[in-house]
Structure 1
Amino acid sequence: MRSQSLVDFHKSVSELNNHLSHTLFVFKQFKIDNQTLIGSKPNLRTIAAYKENEMAPQFDVTLNKLAESADVTLDYILDTFFVFINTRFEVYLIGLQNYVKANFDDMLPEPPDNHIYEKVLENFGINPEVQFGTLFTSTFSYYKLRRNATMHRDKKRRYQGLLERLIKGTPDEKLAANQLSGAALNNEWQSYVKGQTKCHAVRNTDFTNKDLTRFGLPELIDVFNFYRLFAELIDSEVMGKQDRVKLLKYCHKCYKEFYNFPDDLLYESFAPKFLHICKLKLNLIPEQDEIKKYFKKDI
């Protein structure tokens, strides 16, 4: 089973991936289109080289400086993608709690304003290390600390403090007792992907790397894949806890809204449509007796 919140999260990750691909294409094409000009006239200023570009006066530098600035700007944009996917994951968690509260469990509290990951899972009665294992909780901790370092520290000072201790495997009371070190994370992910070729997984990240000044494309794709996979695990656990009767009632409500109920007066017409809605909304497969229970219900 899965929630609508997970569907929305998958869409947002796909959009981010598309934006990332477009960004890299544009920057690569800039180098291809301008390498001859920059190589032959490195001291020419942008205001003279790009007279038709109305933004040239806003960035009036020599062409060799422009090429250097493009690399710095791309690094900044990749940092931003990394921070944003972490934020989108928190948005997913808040959306999941709101979705479940509105449709299946009105006793849930309102979503938290801070410590979102910890509090949302606590509200659902989930112990992440028990339910998901130390590989996922340790990887999340790594990305969370790296996000904080990316947002709040100078590039050259990202490898320090709690993040440095996590990577080295140095014990710290602020880290989970079972937190995996960088080397252990590398080993565990290598074992996880062994024999798997198409699943979402972390394949190209070196968690022991001390140079945290920039992201490469393969590493960012790893981040996207990790959050896809982790969200799927969380979603399955949360939705699996919900009362099946309430899930079916929700699907029946969606059926009536989608198919202009009560047009289907024949079971042969109703059954496949109701099954379609259950799959579409929750990836839920009802039993035949459950489908029959909702045939002509509320007519």
Structure 2
Amino acid sequence: MAEAAVSYVAERLIDLLQKKIVFLKNVRQGVEGMQDELVRMKCFLKDADMKQEEDEAATIRNWVSEIRAVAYHAEDDAVGLEKHVSSVVSILLKEDNRLRVASIVGMGGVGKTTLAKEVYNQTQIRDKFDTRAWLYVSQDHKPMKIIKELILQLANPEEDKVKIVDTMDKLSEASLDKMLQRRLKDTCHLIVLDDTWTTEACDLIVRSFPDNDKSSRLLLTSRRKEVALHADPHATPYKLEELSEEESWELFLKKVFAEDRECPQDLVDVGKEILEKCDGLPLAITVIGGLLAGKKKQRSEWQRVQRGLSSYL
């Protein structure tokens, strides 16, 4: 089967790489990264072999989450983000030994994931939390799949991740919860639950995290304020607003005119009319800006885009 083939290749490749390049500096991280990718490939092919559509969809969602996070971490949604990063970092570092849930809320495309990713990678956050993980929840979440992905992320570099996957596949939901709690029990951890839609998702996922009196935090992003309040009624959700007119124009120029960031005078009015349709949403501005960046800088060309703006957005 494809699963067995990938498992064999993964094991042989890692053994070979570790033997051949052990003397090189900073190479272990790269080897471990490759090992993680091969484990994910194994999971994916295992799902395909078994023809279980739900499992396959869950694995694909995890891959999409990683791609999404990388894309959002680019300098494009960085416009005007510094003040928000500082505020959310302060919330996470607030003195409180209990497990707390911090939330970022706002409409779709406003940059919640971007903000969460920037916060996640801040030096202060890296120093504070000895264990961190990122989970993409989504509307069609499967709690057991999310818990499995988290356990895999929490595994030590020297652990056999293929063996962990095989072990988890045999466990009940209650046993998976216990496995996760054992791994988190003595850690100060930060877990991001990105794109959480329902209160039911909060109940099913958050219950798996132990309150170990270590000042651990969950960071949740959601379009719905009621979900954030349900996750932690004692915490005030951080509302991420749309970009201002000035910030929107700055992002637009960065995306369309990457080198000089200046718009020809004869295109300014059309550009601002196009920008109005984006409603200050960084994702919309990035999509349209990327489209215009690949077109001729001619008024007729921009007007053609403007006429078809609804379909692009």
TM-score (norm. length: structure 2): 0.30
Higher helix share: 1
Higher strand share: 2
TM-score (norm. length: structure 1): 0.31
